[in-house]
């Protein structure tokens, strides 16, 4: 069984997130998604509209997703890859090159982002801070 792992905030879930998860699942048989906790997003400098337990529940309900784990720090990826026996690490290509060091542990794949949609743009449209 080929296991895939990806990370994200998944705030105000939108079709860009859905496309990423769909294509990530197509690369293997089992998809683990690490969803950033509110505390970690504060470190990333991201203020979420939706709290972490709700963002995790929404991602968990997506048919392409087999398992959701919390992302609490930048440094947990190697441990996650090893503990979950991951074959492929996937991120959208806005992260291209940033995680190449993980290729020591598994395949690293960057997928093209879905154009013209982002949580930031949605917040602006909704006049959220
Ligand atoms: N994404 C995409 N197309 C978009 C928007 C997002 O393909 N239009 C992808 C991103 O590239 C990422 C995933 O959807 O792979 C989740 O996006 P975010 O929630 O913005 O994730 P981010 O805040 O970048 O967190 O340790 C890594 C970080 O947790 C990534």
Is the CB of residue 72 below 6 angstroms from any atom belonging to ligand 1?
no
Which residues pair with residue 71 across a beta bridge?
Answer: 36
Is residue 75 a contact partner of residue 106, using CB atoms and an 8 Å limit? Answer: no
Is the CB of residue 34 below 6 angstroms from any atom belonging to ligand 1?
no
What is the spatial distance between Cα 50 and Cα 96, in angstroms, rounded to a whole number? Answer: 26
The 10s digit of each residue's pLDDT in 41-72 is 999 898 999 999 999 999 999 999 999 999 99
For residue 80, the model assigns a pLDDT of 98
- Which atom in ligand 1 lies closest to the alpha carbon of residue 40? 29
String of b and e for 99-122 (b: at least 16 CB within 10 Å)?
beebeeebebbbbebbeeebbeeb
The 10s digit of each residue's pLDDT in 109-119 is 999 999 999 99
The 10s digit of each residue's pLDDT in 7-41 is 999 999 999 999 999 999 999 999 999 999 999 99
Task: State the pTM of this model.
Answer: 0.96
- Which atom in ligand 1 lies closest to the alpha carbon of residue 112? 7
């Amino acid at each position: 069984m080929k296991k895939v792992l990806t990370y994200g905030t998944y705030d105000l879930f939108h079709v860009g997130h859905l496309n990423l998860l769909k294509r990530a699942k197509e690369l293997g048989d089992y998809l683990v998604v690490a969803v950033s906790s509110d505390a970690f997003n504060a470190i990333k400098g991201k203020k979420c509209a939706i709290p972490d337990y709700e963002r995790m529940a929404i991602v968990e309900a997506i048919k392409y997703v087999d398992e959701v784990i919390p992302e609490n720090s930048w440094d947990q990826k190697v441990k996650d890859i090893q503990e979950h026996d991951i074959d492929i690490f996937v991120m959208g290509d806005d992260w291209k090159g940033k995680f190449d060091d993980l290729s020591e542990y598994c395949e690293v794949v960057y997928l093209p982002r879905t154009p013209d949609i982002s949580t930031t743009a949605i917040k602006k449209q909704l006049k959220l801070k």
